[in-house]
């Protein structure tokens, strides 16, 4: 996740948080085939919280699908609670654990289940007149505090209160009650009214170092909570996404975006046969054929890592008939695609680390096989 924080910081440095024009010489022409309704693109700004933005966006689409309307939920309320959860894990493991800004889709679902969620209007995670998120100082301060208190011979019972004090200072205090949509609410009542059951969602991946059609704890750095994924062959993983979108379900996507073929500025993610061609981002070209072995070798060599999480909302084709997935990013409305990008089938096959979907989005045969 650190790589993607650096990459996004570079985008911000060159003012890509504002509108950026797509290369006007581009001959890419996309036809959207299926498009699941979603809420507007946001920006995670200077934070490594794509996991929360992507999964909360996914939940917002779930609410639209269920007829609950367009709600704007607080990504930073989830982030705050995961910071606390990570702190407890880090301290109890005496610093021998991951403590960073990164997390995964299942952490959002777990935080939703245990601590609920709030509307963005009630908890933005910004303090005072702040207009952008910036956790560069916060994350260092939190880790420094934890490393400091663990030097004590015997921990007091007050350290979490101190930790929450830092969160309050940088992200704002959490209201005990609030008025929303003409109704007096608290976190519990608001979350209950949403009607989302976190147990209805499953994560899947596709790697051969574990048996297929069984679950395992995926060995990636940000999986601090030891979340389990169902392991399926590549063709089944892709079939899950195809089935989901065709039935009006979106998908939370986790994968690698550090490749040359990934260009958020141009709104394209591809795996070209010739990576050095000059018209890489302006003209569709031949892409590599991806196998299960390719996925495995890039994962084992660290060429594929869980750099970034985004929200998959549809399918499309270009003028050559090449299939793409429509992806909602969390880097603001960059490019002519307004913050969305087109991820080729080959890129999905090679660089997807995992996906989160509603269990009813699984193809019937696969669902019966996995959810026995």
d(CA 275, CA 287): 10
d(CA 134, CA 44): 9
pLDDT of residue 237: 98
pLDDT of residue 17: 36
Tens digit of each residue's pLDDT (9 = 90 or more) over 215-228: 999 999 999 999 99
pLDDT of residue 221: 95
Angle at 244 between CA 311 and CA 219, to 5 degrees: 60
pLDDT of residue 18: 34
User: Over the range 296-305, which residues count as b (16 or more CB within 10 Å of their CB) and which as e?
Assistant: bebbeeeebb
With pLDDT > 90 as the criterion, what percentage of the chain qualifies? 90
Tens digit of each residue's pLDDT (9 = 90 or more) over 7-38: 554 444 434 333 334 445 789 999 999 999 99
Give the mean pLDDT of the chain: 93
- What fold characterizes domain 2-370? Cathepsin B; Chain A (3.90.70)
The single residue listed with the structure tokens 């301290």 is 91
State the pTM of this model. 0.93
Annotated domain spans of the chain? 2-370
pLDDT of residue 13: 40
pLDDT of residue 4: 53
pLDDT of residue 372: 81
Is the CB of residue 190 less than 8 Å from the CB of residue 279?
no
User: In the 3-class helix/strand/coil scheme, how is the chain assigned residue by residue?
Assistant: CHHHHHHHHHHHHCCCCCCCCCCCCCCCCCEEEEECCCCCCCECCECCCHHHHHHHHHHHHHHHHCCCCCCCECHHHHHHHHHHHHHHHHHHCCCCCCCCCCCCHHHHHHHHHHHCCCECCCCCCCCCCCCCCECHHHHHHHHHHHHHHCCCCCCCCCHHHHHHHHHHHHHCCCCCCEEECCEEECHHHHHHHHCCCHHHEEEEECCCCCCCCEEEECCCCCCCCCCEEEECCHHHHHHHHHHHHHCCCCEEEEECCCCCCEECCCCEECCECCCCCCCCCCCCCCECCCCHHHHHHHHHCCCCCCCEEEEEEEEEECCCCCEEEEEECCECCCCCCCCEEEEEHHHHHHHEEEEEEEHHHCCHHHHHHHCC
Tens digit of each residue's pLDDT (9 = 90 or more) over 285-312: 999 999 999 999 999 999 999 999 999 9
Per-residue pLDDT at 200 exceeds 50: yes
Encoded tokens for 239: 């079939």
Minimal CA–CA distance to 255: which of 219, 208, 309, 302? 309
pLDDT of residue 335: 83
Tens digit of each residue's pLDDT (9 = 90 or more) over 49-98: 999 999 999 999 999 999 999 999 999 999 999 999 999 999 999 999 99
pLDDT of residue 168: 98
pLDDT of residue 12: 45
Phi, psi for 282 (deg, rounded to 5)? -115, -15
């Amino acid at each position: 996740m650190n790589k993607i924080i650096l990459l996004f910081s570079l985008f911000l440095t060159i003012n890509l948080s504002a509108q950026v024009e797509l290369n006007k010489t581009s001959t890419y022409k996309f036809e959207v085939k299926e498009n699941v309704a979603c809420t507007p693109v946001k920006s995670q700004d200077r934070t490594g919280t794509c996991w929360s933005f992507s999964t909360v966006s996914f939940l917002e689409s779930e609410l639209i699908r269920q007829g609950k309307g367009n709600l704007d939920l607080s990504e930073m309320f989830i982030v705050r609670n995961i910071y606390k959860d990570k702190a407890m894990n880090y301290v109890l493991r005496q610093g021998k654990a991951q403590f960073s800004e990164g997390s995964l889709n299942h952490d959002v679902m777990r935080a939703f289940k245990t601590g609920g969620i709030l509307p963005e209007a009630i908890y933005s995670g910004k303090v005072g007149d702040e207009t952008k998120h910036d956790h560069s100082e916060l994350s260092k301060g939190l880790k420094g505090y934890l490393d400091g208190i663990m030097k004590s011979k015997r921990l007091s019972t007050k350290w979490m209160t101190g930790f929450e004090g830092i969160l309050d200072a940088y992200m704002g205090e959490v209201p005990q009650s609030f008025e929303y949509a003409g109704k007096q609410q608290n976190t519990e009542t608001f979350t209950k009214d949403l009607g989302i059951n976190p147990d209805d969602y499953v994560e899947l991946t596709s790697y051969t170092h574990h048996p297929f059609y069984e679950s395992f704890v995926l060995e990636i750095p940000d999986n601090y909570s030891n979340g389990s994924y169902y392991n399926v062959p590549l063709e089944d993983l892709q079939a899950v996404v195809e089935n989901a979108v065709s039935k009006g379900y979106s998908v939370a996507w986790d994968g690698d975006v550090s490749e040359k073929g990934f260009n958020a500025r141009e709104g394209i993610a591809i795996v070209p046969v010739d990576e050095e061609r000059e018209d890489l981002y302006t003209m569709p070209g031949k892409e590599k054929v991806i196998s299960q072995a390719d996925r495995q070798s890039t994962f084992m060599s660290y060429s594929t890592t869980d750099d970034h999480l985004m929200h998959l909302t549809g399918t499309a084709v270009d003028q050559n008939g090449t299939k793409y997935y429509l992806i909602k990013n969390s880097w603001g409305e960059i490019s002519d695609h307004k913050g969305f990008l087109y991820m080729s089938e080959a890129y999905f096959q090679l660089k997807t680390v995992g996906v989160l979907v509603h269990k009813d989005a699984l193809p019937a045969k696969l669902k019966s096989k996995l959810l026995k």
